[in-house]
Amino acid sequence: MPVASRRSGHSISGRLTWMNLVVSGVALLLASVSFAVYDAVTFRDAMVQTLTIQAGIIGSNTVSALLFDDTKSAETTLKAFAGAPSIMAAAIYDHDGRLFATYLGTAGRDTVPARAPDTERTDMAWLAAPGITVVRPITFKDTHAGTVYIRSDLSNFYNRLRRYAATVIVVLMASLAAALAISRMIQRSISEPMAQLAALAQRVTEEKDYSIRASDTSGANEVRVLTGAINDMLAQIQQQDSSLQESRSQLEQRVKERTAELTTINQELEAFSYSVSHDLRAPVRHVSGFVALLSAHDGSTFDDEGRRYLTTIAAAAERMGRLIDDLLAFSRLGRATLSKRQVNLDALVREARDEVLMYPSGRDIAWTVHPLPLVSADSTMLRSVLVNLLSNAVKYTGTRSRAEIEIGALAPVDGESVVFVRDNGVGFDMKYQDKLFGVFQRLHRADEFEGTGIGLANVRRIIHRHGGRVWAEAAKDLGATFYFSLPIESAVPLPAHRLETRDVRAADHD
């Protein structure tokens, strides 16, 4: 899946456009609200000041009417408010606070207080629904002559706010349109080059084509620097990729050549081993046959020294025959085809043990057999592995009065199922373990323990062909443990249960 498709959200051009619109809109809105609040407060104060001045004029024109108790003159003066539709009501009170004259606007639907508000002979103004009220004392020669009461609605105030709001909306829309136009212009220098770089990165990621380059841009300086850096990086990656491809091709060619060489060498070695082993069998048989004929024909005429020579030649020929047979078996392992199937190791161990103990020797051997897993393997080859390991265990415990041999499996670790064969035999020095699984490599003298030195080499070759490993742990005169592993995907461990411990004597197989 492309990189860009895995990420949600707007493009950089959309983000820049929204950012400009939001910033411009918020800034203009805050400024408009601030101006609106300032204008509202200023206009309200101007209204109060105007009403206060009007109250002062009315008071000056009604002083004589109050002094001479001329109500009609005072009402005539108040009728001057007829030309001011915003005046809802007005009144003149005498020096005792009694209502002297009134004016009611809006077709007389309003009222005035029956008594003058207590103003303590000072100007007062307050805002109360549904308008502004102004109260101003009337004085004559520093004497309180009466009080002027005027109440005005807020229609002019609200009309002004509505006009201001309409103006703000128009200006806001015009500003947003201008911000949108500016954003479109900015896209040519920032967002479009960035979008091109993003498309370039996605194309390089999908096609793995490092020869692509970003086109030159006339955008902002930072965008030009970024474009140049990306082109330089792509050039370096292309060069490294070319070198890597060339090295990979050379390596693949070398691997093919070395593989062909190794295949040829292995085939030649196997053919040579098989040919030598096969061609040596006939001469060895001839030697054994003629030794037998010579012994039968003139054996009685030989003295003890001559008969010892014949015995030595026969034993050497027999040992040579075993070596040839083992070498033939080893060479066949490289050509044999694996035929894997599910194998019960418990049954296979029993068969291998029976084969090892086929010829009774009267020895005392204690066997401990743990539960073993089912494995996917070539049963014939795996049986050969167990026969070799058990034969070694029996052979190298020959100096013990009671041999102890244990077969079991470790808990699966690191993708492997591990089987072990442990004995209490003579063991070996671990510094020689690298020679243990080599062909014709022996850690003990032939006069101590017989053998050809090919058995463990066969074990390693078989286990390696199954994709496993083989190794050993030991201490001199303290026994040895041999391990082999098989890949865990080809092994199905059995559930743990009670150990099976049995004493099996060689004499039981008579």
Q: Which pair of tokens denotes residue 90?
A: 């007005």
**pLDDT by 10-residue block (mean), the chain, 510 residues:** 45 68 80 82 85 88 87 88 85 89 76 79 73 87 87 82 84 80 68 71 76 66 72 80 84 86 72 65 71 69 73 72 64 65 89 82 86 86 88 86 92 85 87 69 53 72 87 88 81 43 40
10 Å CB burial of residue 510 (0-12, 13-18, 19+) is: exposed
Q: What is the C-alpha separation between 383 and 357, in angstroms, rounded?
A: 15
Q: Which pair of tokens denotes residue 247?
A: 């090295």
Q: Are 426 and 398 spatial neighbours (Cβ–Cβ below 8 Å)?
A: no
Choosing among 2.40.50.140, 3.30.565.10, 1.10.287.70, 3.40.50.1580, the CATH entry for 339-509 is 3.30.565.10
Domain ranges for the chain, please list them. 13-162, 242-335, 339-509
pLDDT at 329: 63
pLDDT at 420: 95
CATH number belonging to domain 13-162: 3.30.450.20
Q: Which residues contact 471 (CB under 8 A, 6 or more apart)?
A: 433, 482, 483
Q: Which pair of tokens denotes residue 97?
A: 């606070």
10 Å CB burial of residue 40 (0-12, 13-18, 19+) is: middle
Q: What is the C-alpha separation between 43 and 49, in angstroms, rounded?
A: 10
Q: Which pair of tokens denotes residue 150?
A: 């005027």
pLDDT at 166: 87
DSSP 301: G
CA-based Rg of the chain, rounded to a whole angstrom?
A: 58
pLDDT at 494: 45
Q: Which pair of tokens denotes residue 13?
A: 């051009």
Q: Are 95 and 145 spatial neighbours (Cβ–Cβ below 8 Å)?
A: yes
Using CA atoms, how far residue 129 sits from 38, 85, 117, 154, 332, in Å, is 21, 17, 17, 9, 115
Q: Tell me the whole-structure pTM to 2 decimals.
A: 0.42
pLDDT at 187: 64
Q: What is the C-alpha separation between 178 and 166, in angstroms, rounded?
A: 18
Task: For helices 379-396 and 455-465, give the axis angle rounded to 10 degrees.
Answer: 150
Helix (H, G, I), strand (E, B) or coil at 68: coil
Is the domain covering 242-335 a CATH 1.10.287.130 domain?
Answer: yes
Which residue from 106, 95, 61 is spatially nearest to 80, judged by alpha carbons?
61
